[in-house]
Amino acid sequence: MSIIILHQRFCEYKTTFENLSPKTIKWHEMLFKSFVKFSSVSSIAEVNKKIVENWIIWGKTSRDWSPKTIRSSLVSLNVYLFLAWTRI
């Protein structure tokens, strides 16, 4: 299944079951688009530790991400990947 479709399901899940605000959902969407654009992955099977680490390094060095942004990004991506791998 496409990584984009899985992320749409993730956002729907977060909106429905966790009642996240539209602003928070927008943040998840922007973060995910950044990850997909940077990594060029199209399926969940392509994601690995090295790709995620390189994305975080890029965020820190090129975008000057704060430790809080890095932590939030990792948590968000981790939750998304877990739900995607378990097929929400």
At residue 82 the predicted structure's pLDDT band, cuts being 50, 70 and 90, is confident
User: 7-47: per-residue pLDDT in tens?
Assistant: 898 899 889 999 999 999 999 999 999 999 999 998 888 99
Q: What is the pLDDT of residue 72?
A: 94
Residue 87 has pLDDT above 70, yes or no: no
Q: For residues 65 and 59, is the Cβ–Cβ distance under 8 A?
A: yes
Location of structure tokens 């922007």: 30
Q: How far is the C-alpha of 41 from the C-alpha of 3, rounded, in Å? A: 8
At residue 66 the predicted structure's pLDDT band, cuts being 50, 70 and 90, is very high
Number of structural domains, the chain?
Answer: 1
Q: How far is the C-alpha of 27 from the C-alpha of 76, rounded, in Å? A: 10
Give the pair of three-digit tokens for residue 83. Answer: 């739900």
**Mean per-residue pLDDT of the chain:** 91
Residue 2 has pLDDT above 80, yes or no: yes
* Structural domain range at position 78: 3-85
**Global confidence as pTM:** 0.84
